Structure 1
Amino acid sequence: MKNLLIAAAIVIVGVASAKAADLAAHHMYTKAPPPVAAVYDWTGFYIGGNVGYGWSENTDPSLTVVNPGGVGNIGPFLTTGLPGFSSGNLFPNLRPSGVFGGGQFGYDKQFGTWVLGAVADIQASDFKASALVTTPTTICCNANESLSAKIDWFGTVRGKVGYAANDWLFYGTGGLAYGEAQSTIGFACTPGGVGCGGIAFAGNASEVRVGWAAGAGISKAWGNWNVGAEYLHMDLGRSSVTALSINGAFTTTTITESQRFVEDMLRLTVNYKFGWGGPVVARY
């Protein structure tokens, strides 16, 4: 019995030793697992600034004249095709453009490679254009028609949907836009005198318009900071300005132009994201 136990022990020890040798050989020839990659996490609140340039589509002015009873001789100057007026109404079609800059605040949440977010911004802007058209007539004189359009400031509140490629983010965006639309208008007969009959009108208007904005952008992150470029199309709709007689000659007559306030913009952004604790380790 004793000999049998000794023999069994020798067999068990031998089997264990062989198994250990097999495991050692297996680990010797097995490749090490690939390194675990670090992936940037876009989740978090951020605040930043932006600067850019905007250019406009045509403002497409639309004329409305209220002149009860055809007072005075203003009709031939404002109606296309009447004798003595070579081209009819020629209020200028404008393209406001200029620089802008401001700040933004937002939040992004990453789900795998997809990023959802929201951002609000407000900017001071110098989008403006003005022009004067002088049209000769065969009656006596010239008709001077002036118009201007300007956006002093604007802002947006938008949603974002993006695709994250590690520390790069590609996104589309769209939502509410608002801004101050300003216009001036003038109409006069020159060089004056009896033939012009006191025709001189002027007016200005300013109103906060609400519309929409949509675009796309790209951002690159370095730790808490990221920089990006964004294209945005903003449409604030139409705003009207009315000219009244400036010398009292036409107390019941008004000249109104409505025009579009639409801008295309390119801007650079710089943001600081709060609470970034380093890259997220990807799990394989």
Structure 2
Amino acid sequence: MASLALLASPVLVPAAQAADLPYGKGGLPPAPVLPEFYSWTGLYAGGQIGYSWGSERTRFSALNGAFATSYSYDTDSVVGGGHVGFNYQLGSFVLGVEGDVEAVGSDGSFDNAFARGGVKRDWQASVRGRLGFAMDRFLIYATGGVSFTEFDQHFFDPATGARDYVQTSRSGWTAGGGVSYAFSDHLIAGVEYRYTDYGRFDRNARNAFLGLATDHDSTLHTVRTSLSYKF
């Protein structure tokens, strides 16, 4: 038995000594620190600028519904303004709501021997929901909601010299999508496209083109770049 103990002791002693070695000198390496993913949850606000292009169409028809004539014209414009929103992240999905208001320089017109007129818009706004998919600091999303604007319509009848001017507030729908990237914990840049449709609205002529009804429809496409601060 004594001889067995003597044989085992050279094995046991180094094992015991190895257990007493200080951490990091022959022990297991420390576990790697896992990276923290960016959180999109929070309130944000910022500004945006972009370009809008679209089509306006004004129709004139007899009050009995008989078709008369119609005019189509472009209303391209630079747009710019501010926005505020809130995101809430659930795993990789991001739910949000956003509102914006923008200045617009939209001004389109038609002009011939029988009729002159056009429409201007100075501002537009929207309130939308957002649904996105986050890949750390990169977010791709879809958005949709309600849009608002005001049309300033003007008409001139060359035959009589009569003029019409009317302001019409309208709501419509808007939908699109975009991408955002968080350069830091607070600074977010993005690019977004939206399609907006304000529908068709009509009225009876007052001064110019008496005896005719006019109706108007407006659709537009807009691409924006944005910069936001996340609080």
Task: Give the TM interval when normalised to the shorter protein.
Answer: 0.7 to 0.9
How much is the aligned-residue C-alpha RMSD, in angstroms?
3.2
Aligned equivalent of 2:62: 65
Question: Normalization by structure 1: what TM-score?
Answer: 0.68
103, 115, 119: which is aligned to 1:124?
A: 103
TM-score by length of 2: 0.82
- The yes-or-no answer on 1:258 pairing with 2:211 is no
The answer on whether the counterparts of 2:57 and 2:218 sit within 8 Å (CA) in structure 1 is no
Distance (whole Å) between structure 2 residues aligned to residue 184 and residue 64 of structure 1:
17
In the alignment, which residue of structure 2 is the partner of 1:177? 147
**20 and 184 in structure 1: CA distance in 2 versus 1, 3 angstrom threshold:** farther
Task: Call closer, same or farther: CA 1:20–1:111 in 2, change over 3 Å.
Answer: farther
- Pick the structure with more strand per residue: 2
Matched, 1:206 2:163: no
Q: Which residue of 1 aligns with 2:73?
A: 94
The equivalent of 2:230 in structure 1 is 273
For residues 88-237 of structure 1, the aligned pairs below 5 Å read 89-134=68-113, 144-189=114-159, 199-223=160-184, 224-237=186-199
The aligned amino acid for 1:149 is: V
Letter in 2 for 1:108: N
- The answer to which structure has the higher helix fraction is 1
Alignment partners' CA distance in 1, 2:110 and 2:100: 31
Asked if structure 2 preserves the Cα contact closer than 8 Å seen for 1:204 and 1:243, the reply is: no
Give the Cα separation in 1 of the matches to 2:196 and 2:98: 15
Distance 1:147 1:28 in 2: 87
> Distance between the aligned counterparts of 2:20 and 2:195, measured in 1?
65
Q: Which runs of 5+ in 1 are unaligned?
A: 68-78, 81-88, 135-143, 190-198, 275-284
Q: Is this contact kept in 2: 1:204–1:241, CA < 8 A?
A: no
The answer to whether structure 1 residue 53 and structure 2 residue 18 are counterparts is no
8 Å CA contact 1:43, 1:108 repeated in 2: yes
**2:200 is aligned with 1:238:** yes
Once the two structures are TM-superposed, the CA of residue 222 in structure 1 deviates from its matched residue by 2.0
Counterpart contact for 1:61–1:93, Cα < 8 Å: yes
Q: Residues of 2 paired with 1:113 and 1:146: CA distance?
A: 54
**Correspondence for 1:196:** none
Deviation at 1:28, TM superposition (A): 4.8
Shift in Å at residue 32 of structure 1?
5.9
The alpha-carbon deviation at position 187 of structure 1 amounts to 2.3
**Identity rate of aligned residues, in percent?**
28
Amino acid in structure 2 at the alignment position of 1:244:
R
Structure 2 counterpart of 1:222, which letter? F
Equivalences, count: 224
Q: Kindly provide the amino acid, as one letter, of the partner of residue 116 in structure 2.
A: S
1:5-42 Cα offsets, whole Å, 9 max, x none, are xx99xx89975863674898xx9596764442232111
Asked if the contact 1:219–1:228 (Cα under 8 Å) also holds between the matched residues in 2, the reply is yes
Which structure: larger Rg? 1
The one-letter code matched in structure 2 to 1:230 is E
Matched position secondary structure for 2:71: coil
Q: Which amino acid aligns with 2:98?
A: V
Q: Structure 1 stretch 200-209 or stretch 112-121: which is displaced more?
A: 200-209
